[in-house]
Structure 1
Amino acid sequence: MKKLAAATISVAAAAVLGLTGCSTAGTSQVSGSGNVKIIALLPQGYDQPYGSVYVDTMKATAEEMGVTLELTNAKYDASRQSSDCNVAVAKKPDGIILWPADAGSVRPCLLKAQAANIPVNSTNSDVTEADKSLVKSYSGPSNDQVGRLDADLLNTALQGKGSIVIIQGQPGNSTATDREAGFRKQLEEKYPGIEIIGAQPANWDKAQAITATSELITRLGSRINGIYAQDDTMAAGAIEALQNRGIDPATVPVVGCGNTELGQANVLSGKQFGTLFQSPVWDGKTAIEQMVKVIKGEQVEKNLFMPMPLVTKDNASQYPPEW
């Protein structure tokens, strides 16, 4: 497993290094966009650390490529995003980039765009499998793979055996659902010695993660050998809950996702066993590039997945946090 993880890191790191600059070869291949107008329907923006970097990168990439970009922020309200979509379709842009607030609720939006002959790409969180034919391309993390990689990390920490709990994201959110599905499948297929004995949502929030973890500790006590938190923010909450109970987090390995400033600090201190490097720079940049390619009639990959290197204390210095 360690050899596999090292290979994953090496390949993904090379991919990230090739994509982080704003004037890479990838940009020049799709430049000269002319008077292209794109509307991005997003569920977050400057109200979230990830969204702040993502949006700034989108804007910079659009400006560099001569694209007129309009952004919305539904704040994870599916009905609000539906309204944003109606307005966007009426404006007849050359393309729509959609980061679903709720993947189960975006089909009407996709059908309206299709009827208006406006191409749509999904970004960061994909649409459901039933709606894949209604989008030209997806770019972003494979959240199924995120769950699988976190299972790999936790297996390494536990050396193949133990009982663990999951601190979940927002119920019904496709990112949370897909990460948990991938995590559970990886344990079932590769690590049968690790058992999930509890799970509780914390809605991507540190304070709620403290409460959720504390309640799981109260209920399950010393049976908990490890914790899978679906992002670094909730991982930080899980760590704090352990410390509040007088438990050394190094003795109950916690894994997360994001390689945020907070998450990497916890990894370097030994409080968090590991995380995954998720780049809002790659995410925002690639979303614009893919949409421009679609508008220009160029061939694009149906699924362009973000590299997600595994980050532990041993290699964290190679992956400076982006958010």
Structure 2
Amino acid sequence: MNFRKTLVTTTALASFAMVGAAAAADYTIGITQNNVGVDSYQTTYEKAFIAAAEANDKVDAVVLDAGGDVARQIAQMEDLIQQNVDAIIIWPTNGQAVIPAVRKAHNAGIPVIVTNSNIAEEGFDFVRSFSGPDNVTQGARSAEIMCDKFKEMGIENEAQVVQISGQPGYTTAIERAGGFEDRLPEVCPNVTLVETQPGDWNREKSQQVMEAFLVKYDDIDGVYSGDDNMGVGALNAAKAADRAGDIIFVGATNFAVGYEAMGRGEYWGSIYQSPVDDAEAALQTAIDVLDGKDIPFLNYFDTPKITQDNMSEFDKPVF
């Protein structure tokens, strides 16, 4: 089977790839992603999505990237609606701001599948299914990992923690932070979360945030980061200040850099999440919706705990 991938410019001022079989496909599915270039998770997700679409004779896929720009993503949604695609997958740049565009697609009779990070709850009526991780559970599991380590160390009644969250307004960031903040006092009621600052999913910014924490607080026992990319930024700051050995680092979405730091004994734990599983699940959810299958609204895939103790059970992440 021959496949084609053609880069063109859209009226949304972003490039897209048209991926599909040479013969007519059953469905045309459009996807507008958050920001492919911002980290290796999103880059790997896009590659996996394109590969899955190329391997499926039923699908032509229009693959778009919003570049982190809400206005661009809304314009891309408008383009996909005008193209009358059969379904739209959206990885929201902002869970609140995209709701009018999602509603417009719904009103046009185009089913919308949200991937990876859900939109705000008031937009749920316009979405057929969410495909991705349970980010609240991820945050809660990270709190459990940290609390268990504090108990092992005997500091569960005195430990102080700082948090580096993701991009403000981004649903994943909100949910992971909320899951952590709600669960930590349940499992370790005497641990204190002293401050939270955003790292915007960026390693360099997170390193700067951690540098400021280290100046402000003489006693930091744990750092929770909304993903390992930010967590390694925090680790780098602590290493530069010669304080890394005194701090337990826990993240989410186990990046390769986090896995490697765990192997060196510098980073304690995270949540294992595959961008390949994420991408393939989103495409399959869209196909299942179009095939008329009964799909749950919250279509989660599992994201287990990973620490230095059990990391040998997991393959090194590919991102």
Give TM-score, length-normalised by structure 1. 0.86
C-alpha distance in 1 between matches for 2:245 and 2:34: 35
Decide which of 46, 54, 60 is 1:55's aligned counterpart.
46
> Amino acid of the residue matched to residue 49 of structure 1?
S
1:167 aligns with 2:158: no
Decide which of 204, 207, 226 is 1:230's aligned counterpart.
226
> Amino acid of the residue matched to residue 105 of structure 2?
A
Give the match for residue 253 of structure 1: 248
Larger deviation: 202-211 or 94-103? 202-211
**Partner SS state of residue 28, structure 2:** strand
1:212 aligns with 2:223: no
C-alpha distance in 2 between matches for 1:142 and 1:55: 20
Give the match for residue 122 of structure 1: 114
**Partner SS state of residue 65, structure 1:** coil
Cα drift, residue 115 of structure 1 = 1.6
Decide which of 291, 304, 311 is 1:296's aligned counterpart.
291
1:40 aligns with 2:37: no
Give the match for residue 24 of structure 1: none
C-alpha distance in 1 between matches for 2:63 and 2:277: 18
Give the match for residue 102 of structure 2: 110
C-alpha distance in 2 between matches for 1:215 and 1:87: 43
C-alpha distance in 2 between matches for 1:110 and 1:158: 43
1:187 aligns with 2:178: no
C-alpha distance in 2 between matches for 1:262 and 1:292: 33
Give the match for residue 300 of structure 2: 305
C-alpha distance in 1 between matches for 2:212 and 2:245: 20
Cα drift, residue 216 of structure 1 = 0.9
- 1:171-209 deviation per Cα after TM superposition (whole angstroms, max 9, x unaligned): 221111111111111023332121101122121111111
Work out which structure has the larger RCO, using CA pairs closer than 8 Å and 6 or more positions apart in sequence: 1
Unpaired runs of 5+ residues, structure 1, are 1-32
Cα drift, residue 169 of structure 1 = 1.3
Contact 1:166–1:200 (CA<8 Å) still a contact in 2?
Answer: yes
Give the match for residue 3 of structure 2: none
Identity, in percent, stands at: 28
Where in structure 1 do 4 or more consecutive aligned residues deviate above 4 Å? Answer: none
1:158 aligns with 2:150: yes
Larger deviation: 78-87 or 46-55? 46-55
Give the match for residue 75 of structure 1: 67
Task: Please show how residues 278-293 of structure 1 align to structure 2 within 5 Å.
Answer: 278-293=273-288
C-alpha distance in 1 between matches for 2:207 and 2:284: 39
**Partner SS state of residue 294, structure 2:** coil
Give the match for residue 13 of structure 2: none
Cα drift, residue 35 of structure 1 = 2.3
Contact 2:105–2:112 (CA<8 Å) still a contact in 1?
Answer: yes
Give the match for residue 135 of structure 2: 143
C-alpha distance in 2 between matches for 1:53 and 1:246: 33
C-alpha distance in 2 between matches for 1:46 and 1:63: 22
C-alpha distance in 2 between matches for 1:146 and 1:182: 7
C-alpha distance in 2 between matches for 1:51 and 1:215: 28
Unpaired runs of 5+ residues, structure 2, are 1-23
Cα drift, residue 250 of structure 1 = 3.6
C-alpha distance in 1 between matches for 2:184 and 2:253: 21
Larger deviation: 294-303 or 47-56? 47-56
Decide which of 182, 196, 213 is 1:199's aligned counterpart.
196
Give the match for residue 273 of structure 1: 268
C-alpha distance in 2 between matches for 1:35 and 1:220: 59
Give the match for residue 14 of structure 2: none
Cα drift, residue 317 of structure 1 = 2.1
Contact 2:37–2:67 (CA<8 Å) still a contact in 1?
Answer: no
Contact 1:45–1:55 (CA<8 Å) still a contact in 2?
Answer: yes
> Amino acid of the residue matched to residue 224 of structure 2?
Y
Contact 1:124–1:141 (CA<8 Å) still a contact in 2?
Answer: yes
Larger deviation: 95-104 or 201-210? 201-210
Cα drift, residue 287 of structure 1 = 0.5
C-alpha distance in 2 between matches for 1:208 and 1:114: 37
